[in-house]
Amino acid sequence: MTDQATGRTVGGPRSIPQQRRSMTLNRRLAVLPAMLASVLLASSLLGPTAGASGSGSAAAATLDPRLPVHPLLQVGAQVEPDKTVRVIVQKQHPSNSSQAIAAAAGAQVKEEFGFIKSLVLEVPQRAVLALAHNPNVRYISPDGPVQRTIDASQLKTTYPQDVNAPSVWNSGSTSTQATGSGVTVAVLDTGFNEDLPDFDNAAVQCLNVNVRTTSCSDADGHGTAVSGIIRGRDTQGRYIGVAPNSRILSIQVLGSNGSGAETDVVRGLQWVFDNRATYNIKIVNLSLVGSVAESYLTAPISGALEQLWLNGVVVVAAAGNYGSASAATWYEPGNDPFVISVGALDDNGTATPTDDSLASFSSRGLTQDGIYKPEIVAPGRRMVSTLTGLGSTLATLFPSWIVDTNYVRLAGTSLAAPVVSGVAALVLQYPGQADGAGEVNALNALRTAATGVLGLANQGLAVNSTINSMTNTVVGGQTYWNQTYWNQTYWNQTYWNQTYWNQTYCNCSTEMAVSSRSHAEPILGRGRNHVPAPPWDRD
């Protein structure tokens, strides 16, 4: 996207429909005033660092929406200019020298991610503003944290029956029978316990890319539970994943406390990108959510996910556990239109779809870029899955969640996402069914792969579907991907006009003339963490 005031590229090409790129700047300018409070709330969340000294008030900070710098960093540069922070710098072109960019900022390159043209620096916050004027810099984001989302429930799960998986496993027809055989799902999470009897060691591998941990073992427990929903198989047949013959590639990006940095996630995605053909990786599951809101047009994780999508990998992410809050769907990775964002369904402890309802904690609504999320909902309450061990973080903190000694009962969109990843593995078992570039078709296949798949709530659900907050029902739409919905007239003149945003949405037209604020910061005040399906909040 080109800044009309300076002429520089601030959004960059990501194969985004032109209509969406052209409307983004005006939309951001309109919503900025509504975001200041959350920016101020997040301004202290990057953590204490040596050399920090305050020189101003966050309330007095001014933001420039034309500057290719995340607003959290803009505030920090004015409030604590000497505080050292870790940032992700996106380059304008792959040929731009990372070393030269770093040297101009008086820093050294800590890490590079070639597939998204980015480098990682540690610099005083005051240096970020100068770095933003480097013509080779596209955008600067904080290296925020990530976490998981979970909760306790009372009943054993019925999610395999909810998605009609048993009938697909046992179909008498070779054209419809599927168990996920031959399909690899990369699970970016807290790691994995490879010694559990529920998993065939030959079909599960683990890789650690979190620089703060030394092994791939899952000390937290979240990643093992997510993997169990996809392909676990209890020896007694009580707890079976949706795609029990799929292959799991567990990539540890979150630490023993269920949190990690954005660079950990990008590092994991870089590995997936580089090795996708070797391991036949067809699906990436991200049961985590960032805690600093950022448009998908500038977020590094979004850029990484889009590279995978454009290269044939289906990306599934938790929608988050922020419920119907005004900025509930503003967090990566689920706010990216190229990602299948998954909300949580409460199946009421039965396999009967008629008593299903939307889980109250499940994030839903419009992103800062004007996209309704989630795309799909799946069971996300009373989810019983594999427990990494009785000494894990989850088992120690929440012993009442343990079921049948070796299993744990959780809730959250973190647990709904792997249900969809499992169904995707069933669909993708057969060549030609779908791939990343045909994700819309994959989404339709997920809804129709088996009778009643994922419940009645998904019948007719399109990406622009809305959710009635009064009745918790899904109102399906059918026009999201067609020309009518995305045409320039609808978006630029009718939907995103100044009247709608300034008077109807934020009632802040009087502030707009003096405001220079960008998209929202974390609504719950967390740092830039990545959480397994909204930042690891426990619902």
The DSSP element (H or E) to which 304 belongs, if any, is: helix 300-310
One of 222, 246, 421, 515 is an active-site residue; which one? 222
Q: SS3 for 25? A: helix
Backbone angles phi, psi at 470, to 5 degrees: -80, -35
Catalytically annotated residue among 143, 162, 189, 336: 189
> Residue 476: how many CA atoms within 13 Å on its side-chain side?
11
Of 43, 141, 414, 518, catalytic: 414
Q: Which helix (H) or strand (E) holds 188?
A: strand 184-189
Amino acid found at 413: T
Query: Looking at the DSSP assignment, which residues form a beta bridge with residue 315?
Result: 284
Known catalytic membership, residue 222? yes
The closest of 19, 20, 25 to 6, measured between CA atoms, is 25
Active site residue 189: yes
Give strand ranges (E) for 51-151.
84-91, 111-113, 118-124, 137-142, 145-147
Distance in angstroms (rounded) separating the CA atoms of residues 190 and 492: 41
Q: What is the 3-state secondary structure (H, E, C) of 279-316?
A: CCEEEEEECCEECCCCCCCCCHHHHHHHHHHHCCCEEE
AA identity, residue 305: L
Element (H, E) at 262: helix 262-275
In degrees, rounded to 5, the angle at the alpha carbon of residue 17 between the alpha carbons of residues 12 and 21 is: 50
CB–CB of 242/419 below 8 Å? yes
Asked whether the beta carbons of 255 and 220 are under 8 A apart, the reply is yes
Instruction: Report the alpha-carbon distance of residue 323 to residue 458 in Å, rounded.
Output: 18
Kindly list the catalytic residues: 189, 222, 414
